[in-house]
Amino acid sequence: MSDPRDSFFEPVAKARVTARLIVEDAGVIAGRRAALDSLAEIDMVPMLLVEDGTAVEAGTIIAEMVGSPKQIALAEERVIGQLAKPSGIATATARFVAQAGGRVRVVSGAWKKLPFSQKEMIRQAIMVGGAMPRIAEWPFLYIDKNFVRMHGGLAPTMAAARRFDGWTKIVQLRGEYGDISDEAVQAAAGGATIVFVDSGQMADAERAIAALTRHGLRGGVAVAFAGGVRLGDIEAVARIGVDIVDVGRPIVDAPLLDMRLDVVAVAGV
């Protein structure tokens, strides 16, 4: 089936149309590479397209392009889709990073749970917003709750982890084998680099930090926290001494950064 736009735009097919992409809200732009690729597919090169990481206010022109009427119509349906969602994620991430103010390192690993086709876009947007998509840099061993269950507890799990000498070892704790403060001590004594309190209860993180301090282990281990963390929780997370906070849905499910494409000039009609 032919594209009806070919017929619809026939009377103005030779026109040169200038259009601008304008953001409706304040935010941080992400998705530039994908937007450029989408424009290249329809033989367009924008006169302007702001860099990833650019902070913008409502009403900012973030892109300007010139093309035929059909090219502009195609650009509207493609480019907004490449920019709005990642920019929303980058905006949400930047807000968490700003709220943390360097006191807590913000990461967001929830992108791994999303469809494969979306993962790279979300991962890149998180980094544009100033956070990291993983709790540690490679090489690391992430020992999740199921690894601990399959080994039958923390002691045999940490014994198995010893063969990964020189690796960062992250141990996810939920208080399944006793009080989470005791689990934190056992994990740290067994060689954990990061004790990851993933219960969603800040009191658990506070108790874990206190227990590690009492046992002289706090200096050698970082404490991470996750579970329903929202922007308003960051102050309390920082206050109790958490080193790393893993934020999930408020970042990866962030709303689009709304934007519109406006035709501003038509020549050659």
Residue 208 sits in a domain whose CATH number is 3.20.20.70
| 181 part of a folded domain | yes
Q: Which pLDDT tens digit goes with each residue over 79-108?
A: 999 999 999 999 999 999 999 999 999 999
- Quick one: how far is CA 140 from the chain centroid? 20
pLDDT tens by residue, 43-64 = 999 999 999 999 999 999 999 9
- Identify the three-state secondary structure at position 12: helix
Question: Is residue 104 a part of any domain in this protein?
Answer: no
Cα–Cα distance between 144 and 149 in angstroms, integer?
9
3-state secondary structure of 259: strand
Two tokens, residue 101 = 């103010």
Structure tokens at 203: 């009191």
What's the rounded Cα separation, in Å, for the pair 234 and 214?
A: 25
Same domain, 188 and 206: yes
Nearest CA-CA partner of 240 in 209, 195, 218: 209
What does the pLDDT look like over 124-171, one tens digit per residue? 999 999 999 999 999 999 999 999 999 999 999 999 999 999 999 999
* List of E strands, 68-179: 105-107, 140-143, 168-173
**Predicted confidence (pLDDT) per residue in 171-222, tens digit:** 999 988 889 999 999 999 999 999 999 999 999 999 999 999 999 999 999 9
- pLDDT at 1 > cutoff 70: no
Residue 240 located in a structural domain: yes
Q: Same domain for 137 and 234?
A: yes
Whether 72 and 170 map to the same domain: the answer is no
Do 239 and 154 lie in one domain? The reply is yes
In the chain, the DSSP E strands lie at: 16-23, 27-28, 48-49, 55-56, 61-67, 105-107, 140-143, 168-173, 194-197, 222-226, 244-246, 259-267
Give the Cα separation of 22 and 139 in Å (integer): 42
Specify whether 241 is located in the same domain as 263.
Answer: no
230 falls within a domain: yes
Let me know whether 207 and 261 are in one domain. no
Q: Does residue 118 form part of some domain?
A: no
Helices and strands: H and E segment counts in the chain: 10, 12
Is the same domain home to 68 and 139?
Answer: no
Q: CATH number, domain at 37?
A: 3.90.1170.20
SS3 265: strand
Asked whether residue 70 falls in the same domain as residue 33, the answer is yes
* Residue range of the domain that includes 60: 4-97+255-267
- Domain count within the chain: 2
Any domain includes 122 = no
Q: Which two tokens stand for residue 190?
A: 């067994």
On whether both 33 and 12 belong to a single domain, the answer is yes
Q: Evaluate whether residue 167 is within a structural domain.
A: yes
Is 127 inside any structural domain?
A: no
Amino acid identity, residue 39? L
Whole-prediction pTM value? 0.94
Same domain, yes or no: 70 and 38: yes
